[in-house]
Chain A
Amino acid sequence: MNYFFQLVISGIVVGSIYALSGLGFVLIYKSSRVLNIAHGQIIAAGAFITYALTVWVDIPIYISFPMSMVLTFFLAMSVERVFLRRLIGEPIISVIMVTIGLMSILDGLIYLTPFGSENFSFPPFLPTTPISVAGVSVSWTQMVGVVITFTLIGAFSWFFKKSTVGISMRAVSDDQMASMSIGISVPRVFGLAWATAGLSAAAAGGIIGNITGLNFETLHAFGIIVFPVVILGGLDSILGAVVAGIIMGLVQQFASGYLDGNWGLSGTGEVMPYIILLVILLFKPHGLFGIHEIERV
């Protein structure tokens, strides 16, 4: 039973990070209908900026973490400005392919830095002895990571529900023409959506970096696993991204905890999300919380 709870704990930890990265993805999709394939690279960039600030520039992590979020905010904003702004109005297929190209470019840029090939781990800044309750242990980093994640998710939800910018984002996602007519600058909202997504991606990257260490391959995988998460939750639902993120984390942990090693299976945690993704696409393509306006052919 302890094993089960241990899996639940680590599932929730991983899942909350998925939720945070899925959130950014959904933000972009919701406002501009762009499927951002380069999301994993932005997460990685955020993580690496956090590391560089913390270790190389030697800034304490509680300052460097927000700093990297701000830097990634501007990075994502400029990415939108340079690459995607001029594609507004182009067919959706070319916009998606631009994000694929973007993924390659960011890959190349990251390979140019030492982060592309080497592994790094953050210096521990929290007590390293895990908290142990009734035989189930949680490390401090995981605890703090989950707390930060949920605080951020709460903050983002508030931002969408109450703040003027958040309301204008929702308006744009509802109807671009109507929101233009009441004076919302749609391109600016697109830029802000990317920037906010960058912000959340940097946070997710920083937390992953602290929990598992920095490895480009792992961060890459985090970016691709966003797809099953957002499809399960519904592409345009923020609540969906959060719930599905946690479900996906649990599924992964249970799969690798219970299936690996039996029947000659290994690495099932890596593939399970994609199998779920294909099944969901076949039977319930709008996901758990998505709007039921899938266009059928």
Chain B
Amino acid sequence: MSSNRWLATGNYFTSYKEEQRIFFTSLDRAAMSLLLLCLFIWPFFIVVDNKYMLVIDNILVAVIAVMGLNLVTGFAGLISIGHAAFVGIGAYTIASFARVLGDSHALLTHAWPLLILIAGFMGAVFGAIVGLPALRLKHLYLAIATLSFQMIFQWTINFMNFFNQGQTISVGRVVWLTGQVSRSQHYIFWYYAILVVIVFCGFAVRNLLRTRYGRCLVAVRDNDRAADAMGMHPGFTKVYAFALAGFLAGVAGALHAYLYRGVGIESFTLHHSISFLAMAIVGGLGTLPGSFLGPLAIKVLDLQVERLSEWAGAHLTFATNLATALRPLSFGLVIVLFLMFEPRGIANWWRIARSYVKLWPFRY
């Protein structure tokens, strides 16, 4: 405790163990606990319309997916333009179960935590397969490999009868301790379910980054030859970065399937891959807070864009295309502007604000 008060003025760690703690100060720990508490209890006090609850759930699902993308693109430095396809793998794992067993089979409705895990593992397997070229290649080629995976995925879903040719495959309502989750409780139930998953994943990723495996990722990103010389295996590291990203994406996809109670190809196209990338970039690549702030910012922006184009559609007659046009336009602008002017993303603002508050009233 005594060393904590000096943290703001420099690095006073005396052991590596101390430097790698999750919470540096007890204030950090208290703030995190308070945040978690707030996230868990606010629905008791504020009643939110179902439409907005869906948006909130969507943000949380995107957080999980972006955490995966951040691992592979932010921490391991490998661009993935096919992240929506990995999310789709997870969702379609659930859909395959629904297709084979029928959409309200007990396995699907009762054992959903297990199925979410299975979906995660499927995502991990596909991630590792797509990451295999990483054993030989560098980022340029990997970006293209992931892009082609996205295209192959879309084709497979669109042309296979088993997957209903991309049309919606419905998934039944799940059952919880209190019985089947009803229509009115659906979004709030999944809010809690996804939140619990996020807390698990968040701590898992934070812990991963403290271990040798996580620091391996960063070392390989910064200089793979040096990492090789230090005894790490860069190729293997890249493949498991893809596998981890695939796992988180698969979990996100499964949650998406359960949340929407159906799976259709329109949620996993190239546009979604790009919007995941936008979230990761806006949040801040290679930072954990970025994985939370990015989806929040982009989804809120998305909501505003939608509102704007609705308004424009009602008032301006020539603006029929505006709705389809504004979304890619705003995404693209946000990506480009952030990369040009704030490549470290919103997480950097967060960092600046934190240190300002910490040092107040002194400037530095």
Interface presence of A162 (CB below 8 A): no
Q: Binary interface profile of A, 209-228, with partner B (CB < 8 Å = 1, else 0)?
A: 00000000000000010011
Interface presence of A187 (CB below 8 A): no
Interface presence of A102 (CB below 8 A): yes
Select which of B136, B137, B277, B325 is within 8 A of A108 by beta carbon. Answer: B325
Interface contact A101-B339, CB-CB below 8 Å:
yes
Given A112-B321, A297-B137, A297-B235, the answer on whether A97 and B281 have CB atoms closer than 8 Å is yes
A157 CB to closest chain B CB, in angstroms? 25
Interface presence of B343 (CB below 8 A): yes
**Which of B2-10, B32-40, B150-158 lies at the interface?**
B150-158
Chain B residues within an 8 Å CB radius of A102: 332, 336
**Which of A121-129, A168-176, A273-281 lies at the interface?**
A273-281
Chain B residues within an 8 Å CB radius of A103: 274, 332
- For the complex, give the distance between the alpha carbons of A35 and B278 in Å: 18
Interface presence of B144 (CB below 8 A): yes
A79 CB to closest chain B CB, in angstroms? 11
Interface contact A104-B81, CB-CB below 8 Å:
no
Q: Binary interface profile of A, 25-44, with partner B (CB < 8 Å = 1, else 0)?
A: 00000000001010000000
Question: How many A residues face the partner with a CB closer than 8 A?
Answer: 50
Interface contact B224-A282, CB-CB below 8 Å:
no
Interface contact B332-A105, CB-CB below 8 Å:
yes
B127-164: which residues lie under 8 A (CB-CB) from chain A?
132-141, 143-145, 147-149, 151-152, 155-156, 158-159, 161
Interface contact B144-A294, CB-CB below 8 Å:
no
Interface contact A297-B325, CB-CB below 8 Å:
no
A166-204: which residues lie under 8 A (CB-CB) from chain B?
none
Chain B residues within an 8 Å CB radius of A270: 151, 155
**Which of A57-65, A85-93, A239-247 lies at the interface?**
A85-93
Interface contact A93-B79, CB-CB below 8 Å:
yes
Interface contact B340-A87, CB-CB below 8 Å:
yes
A59-105: which residues lie under 8 A (CB-CB) from chain B?
83, 86-87, 90, 92-94, 96-98, 100-105
**B interface secondary structure, majority:** helix
Interface contact A274-B152, CB-CB below 8 Å:
yes
Question: How many B residues face the partner with a CB closer than 8 A?
Answer: 56
Select which of B144, B155, B334 is within 8 A of A267 by beta carbon. Answer: B155
Interface contact B81-A100, CB-CB below 8 Å:
yes
Given A267-B159, A275-B152, the answer on whether A281 and B145 have CB atoms closer than 8 Å is yes
Given A100-B277, A105-B329, A116-B325, the answer on whether A282 and B132 have CB atoms closer than 8 Å is yes
Select which of A93, A112, A235, A267 is within 8 A of B325 by beta carbon. Answer: A112
Closest residue to A266 on the B side, CB-wise?
Answer: B159
Closest residue to A282 on the B side, CB-wise?
Answer: B133
Chain A residues within an 8 Å CB radius of B99: none
Interface contact B137-A285, CB-CB below 8 Å:
yes
Interface presence of B238 (CB below 8 A): yes
Interface contact A297-B145, CB-CB below 8 Å:
no
Interface contact B136-A296, CB-CB below 8 Å:
yes
Interface contact A104-B335, CB-CB below 8 Å:
yes
Interface contact A227-B224, CB-CB below 8 Å:
no
Chain B residues within an 8 Å CB radius of A87: 339-340
Closest residue to A294 on the B side, CB-wise?
Answer: B137
Interface contact B328-A108, CB-CB below 8 Å:
yes
B216 CB to closest chain A CB, in angstroms? 13
Interface contact B274-A100, CB-CB below 8 Å:
yes
Chain B residues within an 8 Å CB radius of A98: 335-336, 339-340
Chain A residues within an 8 Å CB radius of B274: 100, 103-104
Given A92-B139, A103-B332, A267-B158, the answer on whether A285 and B81 have CB atoms closer than 8 Å is no
Interface contact B335-A116, CB-CB below 8 Å:
no
Chain A residues within an 8 Å CB radius of B224: 297
Chain A residues within an 8 Å CB radius of B335: 97-98, 100-101, 104
Interface presence of B299 (CB below 8 A): no
Interface contact A35-B143, CB-CB below 8 Å:
yes
Interface presence of A117 (CB below 8 A): yes
- For the complex, give the distance between the alpha carbons of A228 and B152 in Å: 12
Closest residue to B275 on the A side, CB-wise?
Answer: A104
Q: Which of B73, B144, B161 has the most CB of A within 10 A?
A: B144
Interface contact A108-B281, CB-CB below 8 Å:
no
Q: Binary interface profile of B, 269-294, with partner A (CB < 8 Å = 1, else 0)?
A: 01000100110010000000000000
Interface contact B277-A93, CB-CB below 8 Å:
no
Interface presence of B234 (CB below 8 A): yes
- For the complex, give the distance between the alpha carbons of A39 and B152 in Å: 20
Interface presence of B324 (CB below 8 A): yes
Closest residue to B138 on the A side, CB-wise?
Answer: A295
A252 CB to closest chain B CB, in angstroms? 13
Interface presence of B333 (CB below 8 A): yes
Select which of A86, A116, A285 is within 8 A of B324 by beta carbon. Answer: A116
Chain B residues within an 8 Å CB radius of A275: 152
Interface contact B144-A231, CB-CB below 8 Å:
yes
Closest residue to B77 on the A side, CB-wise?
Answer: A93
B132 CB to closest chain A CB, in angstroms? 7
Interface contact A285-B136, CB-CB below 8 Å:
yes
Interface contact A97-B324, CB-CB below 8 Å:
no
A279 CB to closest chain B CB, in angstroms? 10
Closest residue to A104 on the B side, CB-wise?
Answer: B332
Select which of B79, B133, B333, B343 is within 8 A of A96 by beta carbon. Answer: B79
Known pairs A112-B329, A281-B133, A297-B224. 19 more at Cβ < 8 A? A37-B81, A86-B340, A92-B139, A96-B139, A96-B140, A97-B277, A101-B332, A101-B336, A104-B278, A105-B333, A109-B325, A111-B328, A116-B321, A227-B148, A281-B144, A281-B145, A294-B137, A294-B141, A296-B136
- B residues contacting A by CB (< 8 A) are 73, 77, 79, 81, 132-141, 143-145, 147-149, 151-152, 155-156, 158-159, 161, 220, 224, 228, 234-235, 238, 270, 274, 277-278, 281, 321-322, 324-336, 339-340, 343
CB<8 Å pairs between A and B, sample of 12: A102-B336, A103-B332, A109-B325, A114-B321, A231-B144, A271-B151, A278-B133, A278-B152, A281-B141, A285-B136, A285-B137, A296-B137
